Amino acid sequence: MQPTQFSSGDVIADRRADYARMLAESGDPAAAAELMEQALELAPTWAAGWLRLGEYREKAGLGAGAAEALRQVLALDPEDIFGAGLKLALLGATETPNKPPSRYVEALFDDYADRFEQALVERLDYTVPGKLAALVRKVRGAGGPFDCAVDLGCGTGLFGVEIRSIVSRLEGFDLSANMLAKAGEKGIYDHLARSDLSLDAQGSELFAEGLARGRADLVAAADVLMYLGDLSNAFLLAAELSAPGALFAFSVEDAGTPDGLHLAPSLRYAHSEAYVRAALVAVGFEIREIERTTIRMDGGKPVFGILFVAIRAR
């Protein structure tokens, strides 16, 4: 998260918070929590400090105390840039929200943009763009280039690079301005704009002046939907973007359950195949191809996902 959020504005409070961090890193979260409490007595409106206290208390096995600290974060920061509401849900202190706070996702990727590709591709063995593009080519067969492809949650343009050679017009949309700037540096997009997939189409940049509904014969969302819980709105937007017969290619993290979805400790959502199938049918898509695969590594362990290519049938 943004470094400026982690200063209390009080030198003594910051010093105690630094000592608390060192205690936590040395394996004593309970002592870290006590020292963090002292820091917050000096800076009681420091939202990031309360977040740290919540983390230390959770690691110390103090679940109720962690939840109390996270509620204080939300009270001080109603937009929830730190994702405290998600953390509360993981603690079982509140119901799992249908989606994460937009400001949390935006800030996460604004901060991550400069190191995104190096971290994801080089260190986490991220493979979704290439695998999803290959699946699109398989379904497309011998057909000519796509007239218009819309890359939802385009990030720095990793998927765009994979499909640029088979599309005549490529549009990219993302919530993060910094990610869009990185995508723009690649020079592969004909149009880039900010858009929030968790919001409905009314007023969306997806349908700004000159951008018609039903204009795309390929809509993609590569490694994006794990930052949404309920997929119905994103799928509806994809349907509104799609011409009849258009392909919709996307990935989800595999919930590993027969149905439903859940919030993972990573603060990303995982979806079951059955959940995705039902959500696609509801907006007029039919599945053409499914591939289960490892989509990245996380903490040295594989993260399993499902790749889908569907077609707009109605």
CATH number at residue 38: 1.25.40.10
> What domain range is 30 assigned to?
3-95
pLDDT band at 314 (very low <50, low <70, confident <90, very high): confident
pLDDT band at 3 (very low <50, low <70, confident <90, very high): very low
Total domains, the chain = 2
Mean pLDDT of the chain: 93
Q: List the CATH number of the domain containing 148.
A: 3.40.50.150
Does a structural domain hold residue 107? no
Does a structural domain hold residue 244? yes
Same domain assignment for residues 300 and 192: yes
What is d(CA 94, CA 110) in angstroms, rounded to the nearest whole number? 27
Same domain assignment for residues 182 and 220: yes
Q: What is the pLDDT of residues 252-283, one digit of tens each?
A: 999 999 999 999 999 999 999 999 999 999 99
What is d(CA 169, CA 242) in angstroms, rounded to the nearest whole number? 14
What is the H or E stretch that residue 251 is in? strand 242-254
Same domain assignment for residues 197 and 244: yes
Residue where a domain stops, chosen among 95, 127, 142: 95
92-96, 115-119, 230-234: which range is least confident on average?
A: 115-119
What is d(CA 122, CA 82) in angstroms, rounded to the nearest whole number? 26
Of 62, 71, 11, 70, the closest CA to residue 33 belongs to: 62
> What are the angstrom distances between the C-alpha of 101 and each of 81, 190, 223, 232, 277?
7, 29, 18, 17, 25
Inter-residue contact 217 to 147 (CB < 8 Å):
yes
Does a structural domain hold residue 111? no
What is d(CA 73, CA 75) in angstroms, rounded to the nearest whole number? 5
Same domain assignment for residues 151 and 277: yes
Same domain assignment for residues 202 and 306: yes
Does a structural domain hold residue 24? yes
Does a structural domain hold residue 251? yes
Inter-residue contact 262 to 271 (CB < 8 Å):
no
Q: What is the DSSP letter of 206?
A: G
Counting Cα atoms < 13 Å in the Cβ hemisphere of 186 gives 23
Same domain assignment for residues 229 and 305: yes
What is the H or E stretch that residue 254 is in? strand 242-254
Name the token pair of 300.
Answer: 């040295």
